[in-house]
Amino acid sequence: MARENSTFNSDFLLLGIFNHSPTHTFLFFLVLGIFSVAFMGNSVMVLLIYLDTQLHTPMYLLLSQLSLMDLMLICTTVPKMAFNYLSGSKSISMAGCATQIFFYTSLLGSECFLLAVMAYDRYTAICHPLRYTNLMSPKICGLTTAFSWILGSTDGIIDVVATFSFSYCGSREIAHFFCDFPSLLILSCSDTSIFEKVLFICCIVMIVFPVAIIIASYARVILAVIHMGSGEGRRKAFTTCSSHLLVVGMYYGAALFMYIRPTSDHSPTQDKMVSVFYTILTPMLNPLIYSLRNKEVTRAFMKILGKGKSGE
């Protein structure tokens, strides 16, 4: 009984990613700067799309959901890391750890499916423009977006329940800057092999299946773009799709590296570096990639600032 209750009787310790050397202090404040840019960039994207009625189309509504997910993702990990670093504390309660795991895995899972929906949206817009309003109506857009959130949240609940069903009777030190369940499973004194196999299957469904949809959609899109007669239409389609493919490549590349590997193969240093990339850097780059390469977003931003024409 004492062994079973050991999971719940003390806090975990997050070892973090930075020490207090001058170099690491500089890197810490650099991460805070990146966090600030990501927070502001994604907040602006959500507000722009909400305020500008001309952006109330499926593509931009999906983009606003991506920005919202990125905004929630960085707020799940970075504030706690910053608090621990500045206060000198390393502890995180079991409830706090479970909360981080839930939101972290839920948001990652939701983004997996949302990126697939965004690829389908571009496929229908470019390959079936006359049927686009029917194939991607507001109702269908809302349902697929809700479906992405629900699937991601379901994955988060499963991961939290499974992770904390194991006993943690040894070290409480998590070699990470936030609670990530692969790092937590390493500390378990229970046999986690069955869960790791189930987790591998879930990753196949949640990563490889959406990737297959994205590849199939963009294969058709590329063929359609090649055969376009209009140079302007080809350029616009290529710009939109290349932005999306860049985001997909960054996101799925890191996710595949992190979660399609056995827990025993995880290196704390590698996990920290890759996690920084797709939990902090990618949310910062997403709004920059979409806004800098998108005239409609730039126009909406200038209009909000009062520099655009009122009739645009």
Residue 5 in this model has a pLDDT that exceeds 50 = no
CATH class of the 12-305 domain in this structure: mainly alpha
pLDDT band at 89 (very low <50, low <70, confident <90, very high): confident
Percent pLDDT > 90 in the chain is 22
Q: pTM of the predicted model, to two decimals?
A: 0.84
Band of residue 267 on the pLDDT scale cut at 50, 70, 90: low
Q: How much is the pLDDT for 73?
A: 92
Task: Please state the rounded mean pLDDT for residues 125-149.
Answer: 91
Per-residue pLDDT, 196: 77
Per-residue pLDDT of 224-242, as tens digits, reads 877 766 666 667 666 667 7
**Is residue 270 over pLDDT 60?**
yes
Q: Annotate the chain with DSSP letters as a single string.
A: -HHHHTTTSS-EEE--S--SSHHHHHHHHHHHHHHHHHHHHHHHHHHHHHH-GGG-SHHHHHHHHHHHHHHHHHHHHHHHHHHHHHH---EE-HHHHHHHHHHHHHHHHHHHHHHHHHHHHHHHHHH-GGGHHHHT-HHHHHHHHHHHHHHHHHHHHHHHHHHTTS---S--EESSSS--HHHHHTT-SS--HHHHHHHHHHHIIIIIHHHHHHHHHHHHHHHHHHT-S-HHHHHHHHHHHHHHHHHHHHHHHHHHHHHSS-GGG--HHHHHHHHHIIIIIHHHHHHHHHHHT-HHHHHHHHHHTT-S-TT-
Domain ranges of the chain: 12-305
Residue 279 pLDDT: 81
Question: What pLDDT, in 10s, does the model give residues 29-84?
Answer: 998 999 999 999 999 899 988 888 888 889 899 999 999 999 999 999 999 999 99
Percent of the chain whose pLDDT exceeds 70? 84
pLDDT at 300: 75
Query: What's the pLDDT at 103?
Result: 94
Instruction: Specify which of 130-144, 187-201, 289-303 reaches the highest per-range mean pLDDT.
Output: 130-144
Q: Is the pLDDT of residue 269 over 70?
A: no
- pLDDT tens, residue by residue, 171-223: 788 888 888 887 788 888 887 778 777 777 777 777 778 888 888 888 888 88
Q: Which two tokens stand for residue 78?
A: 């970075």
Between 225 and 103, residue with greater pLDDT: 103
d(CA 272, CA 266): 10
Question: Quick one: pLDDT at residue 208?
Answer: 79
Higher pLDDT, 282 or 66: 66
